[in-house]
Amino acid sequence: MNVSAQIEAVYAEVRRRNPGEAEFHQAAAEVLDSLAPALDRHPEYAGSGILERLCEPERQLIFRVPWVDDQGAVRVNRGFRVEFNSALGPYKGGLRFHPSVDLGIVKFLGFEQIFKNALTGMAIGGGKGGADFDPKGRSDGEVMRFCQSFMTELYRHLGEHTDVPAGDIGVGAREIGYLFGQYKRITNRYESGVLTGKPVGWGGSHVRTEATGYGAVFFAEEMLATRGTGFDGRRVVVSGSGNVAVYAAEKAQALGGRVIACSDSSGYLVDEDGLDLDLLKDVKEVRRARLSAYAEAKPAARFSARGTVYDVPCDIALPCATQNELGRDDAVALVKHGVVAVAEGANMPCTPEAVKVFREAGVLFGPGKAANAGGVATSGLEMQQNAARDSWSFETAETRLAAVMRDVHRQCRETAEAYGGDAEDYVTGANVAGFLRVARAMADQGVI
């Protein structure tokens, strides 16, 4: 069987074994479609079922999460942890608390995590987890009780040498604190390295909060530098207004960009003066309000509940919200308005059709598994600090993060050129570079 036929057979089996999991199918197709040049050059990775094993998680956990709300009613949610691949190290990946979470979403995220983690150069495997619980509108007591119930089941599968979760959508420092407290209570062990994203005061790393957003901007800066330009004076649009979006905006503005728009689930905000980050953080992180509250506080800004943030003309777009948020029509609008670079701060926010539009138009495009690797990279740095009982300064942690992102960019560009001929094909570069590192480890460790 030739390489193309083998890849198609593997993808057909992914669809057959995982019916109805559209996001996982999409993530698998995006990686598999890039691998023919690598398998042609390394036929040893076409054997031993490496592709088949890559697409099948090592372990999939689904469990009931009962908890009691503030009215005394018993609620029941469903928890997940997909431990996808440990060839490079303990499973590493976030926990997402959101009503959309199901097994297919967690598998797509965990599959992406394998390659993202490999690109960091760190000894971490890929995994992901979460629950269909929505922390929005819940009291601190309700969130605490949910987290304690969630960890009461999950703790038996975790450990700094086994599986190390972090945060994701709906899971910030508050949730990590409750989860860690319950883990410590059950195990009677203070294992700082079992969860990352902790507050700095008790084992967390400086820059972890900012890392995914900062990292996406560092990656975009490296892409722009290959064309002799940067953020200075550029109009920037960021989708979302959560942790990743806020800190992507912060770093873009620090590099001279003018971030003029962001969004949330209710609509999008335009501030031609450049986003007031103190006001944005107050609205989203303190008041936990909608973006319309920003416009109420600053009349010069404009909030719209219609259309999308991608209708706003910009030079650089940073999609930082959620999967498949940027479709073909959005990509066409961005290209029409002169966008020169797109870097994914979220996981797979651009549809395949949108990516095709960007590539055909010559837009620099940084895929999430490379551009948003800063979060897990800093989680890996947090694990290093925990293992050494050490704590680094903000400046040290940010310098290490920037170095990792420069290396991720270099790997993607060099690999793309070596295996596809086009150094700007960052999708091929990221997929092949990540695959080769994981495949070598899997081959070395036998059929497991």
Residue indicated by tokens 């050494």: 388
Q: How many CB atoms are located within 10 Å of the residue 399 CB?
A: 13
| Three-state SS at 411 | helix
Cα–Cα dist 116/328, whole Å: 24
Cα–Cα dist 405/398, whole Å: 11
Q: How many CB atoms are located within 10 Å of the residue 246 CB?
A: 22
Residues noted as catalytic? 128
List the beta strands (DSSP E) in 143-246.
Answer: 163-167, 235-239
pLDDT of the residue at 342 = 98
- Give the CB-side neighbour count of residue 386, counting CA atoms within 13 A: 26
Cα–Cα dist 259/279, whole Å: 14
Q: What is the pTM of this model?
A: 0.96
Helices (H), 226-242: none
* Binding residue ranges for NAD(+): 212, 243
Exposed, middle or buried: residue 76 (CB in 10 Å: 0-12, 13-18, 19+)?
exposed
Tokens of 124: 């971490």
The per-residue b/e assignment along 45-66, b for 16 or more CB within 10 angstroms, e otherwise, is bbeeebbebbbbbbeebebebe
pLDDT of the residue at 420 = 87
User: CA Rg, the chain, in Å?
Assistant: 21
Give the DSSP H or E segment for 189: none
405 and 218 Cβ atoms separated by less than 8 Å? yes
CA–centroid distance for 66 within its chain:
28
Cα–Cα dist 104/84, whole Å: 13
**Closest CA relative to residue 100, chosen from 77, 125, 119:** 77
Q: What is the CATH number of domain 209-368?
A: 3.40.50.720
Q: What sign has the CA pseudo-torsion 255, 260, 261, 262?
A: positive
pLDDT of the residue at 421 = 86
The domain ranges of the chain are 1-53, 57-190, 209-368
What residue type is assigned to position 324 of the chain?
N
Q: How many CB atoms are located within 10 Å of the residue 272 CB?
A: 12
**Edge-to-edge strand ranges of the sheet holding 267-270:** 302-304, 267-270, 258-264, 235-239, 316-319, 341-343, 364-366
pLDDT of the residue at 430 = 98
The per-residue b/e assignment along 404-413, b for 16 or more CB within 10 angstroms, e otherwise, is bbebbbebbb
Q: Which residues pair with 365 in a beta bridge?
A: 342
List the beta strands (DSSP E) in 246-403.
Answer: 258-264, 267-270, 302-304, 316-319, 341-343, 364-366
pLDDT of the residue at 339 = 98
Residues 6+ apart with CB under 8 A from 278: none
**Closest CA relative to residue 80, chosen from 187, 182, 154:** 154
**Each residue's pLDDT expressed in tens, for the chain with a length of 448 residues:** 799 999 999 999 999 999 999 999 999 999 999 999 999 999 999 888 999 999 999 999 999 999 999 999 999 999 999 999 999 999 999 999 999 999 999 999 999 999 999 999 999 999 999 999 999 999 999 999 999 999 999 999 999 999 999 999 999 999 999 999 999 999 999 999 999 999 999 999 999 999 999 999 999 999 999 999 999 999 999 999 999 999 999 999 999 999 999 999 999 999 999 999 999 999 998 998 999 999 999 999 999 999 999 999 999 999 999 999 999 999 999 999 999 999 999 999 999 999 999 999 999 999 999 999 999 999 999 999 999 999 999 999 999 999 999 999 999 999 999 998 899 999 999 999 999 999 999 999 999 9
Cα–Cα dist 122/416, whole Å: 21
pLDDT of the residue at 146 = 98
* Binding residue ranges for substrate: 92, 113, 116, 167, 379
Q: What are phi and psi of 233, to 5 degrees?
A: 80, 0
**Closest CA relative to residue 250, chosen from 276, 220, 271:** 276
pLDDT of the residue at 38 = 96
How far CA 98 is from CA of 162, 168, 209, 446, in Å, comes to 25, 10, 19, 37
Q: Which residues pair with 315 in a beta bridge?
A: none
| Three-state SS at 301 | coil
Helices (H), 243-342: 243-254, 277-281, 292-297, 328-336
pLDDT of the residue at 48 = 86
Give the DSSP H or E segment for 394: helix 394-419
pLDDT of the residue at 125 = 98
283 and 291 Cβ atoms separated by less than 8 Å? yes
- Fold agreement between 57-190 and 209-368: yes
What residue type is assigned to position 234 of the chain?
R
**Edge-to-edge strand ranges of the sheet holding 163-167:** 59-68, 74-85, 125-131, 91-97, 163-167
Cα–Cα dist 53/446, whole Å: 11
pLDDT of the residue at 131 = 98
Superfamily of domain 57-190: Leucine Dehydrogenase, chain A, domain 1 (3.40.50.10860)
| Three-state SS at 327 | coil
